Amino acid sequence: AQKVTQTQTSISVVEKTTVTMDCVYETRDSSYFLFWYKQTASGEIVFLIRQDSYKKENATVGHYSLNFQKPKSSIGLIITATQIEDSAVYFCAMREGGNYNQGKLIFGQGTKLSIKP
């Protein structure tokens, strides 16, 4: 069965430091796609970064990067040089690549990140 788990309910760090948020997933598919999304205080949900299961290189976009550990079914999100506006809830998500599950995208429970000045 397809499942995404984020065990960190909330994290608080000081501005300009680096933070890592954890996510583990379960899938029977050999091909899948992993995503991180951010939900701001207004409720808006925006896409941040993606990792394709067949790629060994960790994805990086701006000050977001991923720590993809396939043998551990783990996809951590790393935010470097954090800013106050990074305060939000972060969701990990997975879409399996098989034809029987076309487009189904499921989410983890979310991690609330607070950045302190």
Interface ranges with another protein (CB under 8 A): 6, 33, 35, 37, 43-47, 50, 52, 91, 93, 95, 97, 102-110
Our CB check for another protein shows the closer of 16 and 47 to be: 47
Q: Shortest gap between Cβ of 35 and another protein (angstroms)?
A: 7
Q: Shortest gap between Cβ of 13 and another protein (angstroms)?
A: 20
| 48 close to 61: Cβ distance less than 8 angstroms | yes
In whole angstroms, give the CA distance from residue 36 to residue 84.
Answer: 19
Q: Shortest gap between Cβ of 37 and another protein (angstroms)?
A: 8
Dihedral Cα 36, 39, 106, 20, nearest 10 deg: 40
